[in-house]
């Protein structure tokens, strides 16, 4: 099993062993929330398995089903430790695409999103960041097609688990989230619409947004507004 070193979190396909490039390693994470995703890209009916190792400990998330349309997601603070993700799937024809986003990852240049400056286009694997005002804000996320889109947002106060990252799905199969049905594990909300308005007031804290969609999904359009 060989590792891709100095990984910056960009979308990367990991091969199942004994093929090369079956793991990625980020030497140091940020000391704040990050969002990690994984999706099984197998064209055969092969279940995928990954391991996540950090700071001398490791976990094995649930198996990744084949032909999935939405990635498995996890929001976690790795506390500035290293991060290694490995594909340990049993069948060799089981590639898994992984991604990790978070403010301050070396080698990543975010786009700028500004209040009232119009739309920012966020393509496959791209991220953006900016500031907010100490008042009610709206981040409008749009996908002008019918393809499933997954977006990660980091910012504001920590929740009860010590994290401040959320994941939202657009063009999903059901409406879930605050005040409604329970969202899928790891997600904050999903909507059957191609538009989602995230309302918040973070007292002027910064905002970081990442496109976590598959490569075949349309680009996202972001608009940050003070209301």
Q: Token pair 């499933």 is at which residue?
A: 148
Strand order in the sheet with 137-142: 120-122, 220-226, 137-142, 195-200
Q: What is the pLDDT of residue 84?
A: 96
Inter-residue contact 178 to 119 (CB < 8 Å): no
Q: What is the pLDDT of residue 19?
A: 85
Inter-residue contact 13 to 4 (CB < 8 Å): no
Region of residue 116 (phi > 0: left; psi between -120 and 50: alpha; otherwise: beta): left
Inter-residue contact 131 to 148 (CB < 8 Å): no
Q: Token pair 């309302």 is at which residue?
A: 199
Task: Report the relative pairing of strands 96-101 and 12-14 from DSSP bridges.
Answer: antiparallel
Model confidence, pTM: 0.95
pLDDT in tens, 14-29: 999 988 889 999 999 9
pLDDT in tens, 161-184: 899 999 999 999 999 999 999 999
Give the contacts of 53 (CB within 8 A, at least 6 positions apart).
82, 83, 84, 85, 86
For each of the domains in the chain, give its residue range(s) and CATH number, in order of start. 3-101 (2.60.120.340), 111-226 (2.60.120)
């Amino acid at each position: 099993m060989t590792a891709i070193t100095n990984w910056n979190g960009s979308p990367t396909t990991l091969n199942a062993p004994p093929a090369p490039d079956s793991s990625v390693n980020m030497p140091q994470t940020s000391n704040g929330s990050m969002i990690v995703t994984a999706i099984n890209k197998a064209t055969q009916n092969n279940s995928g398995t990954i391991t996540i190792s950090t700071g001398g400990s490791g976990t094995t998330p649930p198996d990744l089903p084949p032909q999935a349309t939405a990635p498995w997601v996890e929001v976690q603070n790795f506390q500035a430790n290293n991060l290694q993700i490995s594909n340990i799937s049993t069948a060799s024809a089981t590639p898994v695409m992984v991604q990790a986003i978070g403010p301050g990852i070396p080698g990543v240049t975010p786009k700028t999103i500004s209040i009232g400056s119009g739309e920012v286009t966020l393509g496959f694997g791209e991220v953006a960041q900016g500031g907010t005002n100490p008042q009610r804000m709206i981040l409008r996320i749009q996908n002008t097609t019918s393809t499933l889109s997954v977006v990660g947002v980091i910012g504001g106060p920590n929740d009860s688990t010590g994290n401040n990252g959320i994941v939202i799905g657009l063009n999903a199969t059901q409406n879930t989230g605050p005040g409604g049905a329970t969202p899928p594990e790891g997600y904050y909300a999903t909507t059957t619409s191609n538009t989602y308005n995230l309302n918040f007031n973070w007292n002027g804290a910064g905002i970081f947004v990442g496109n976590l969609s598959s490569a075949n999904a349309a680009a996202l359009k972001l608009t940050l507004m003070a209301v």
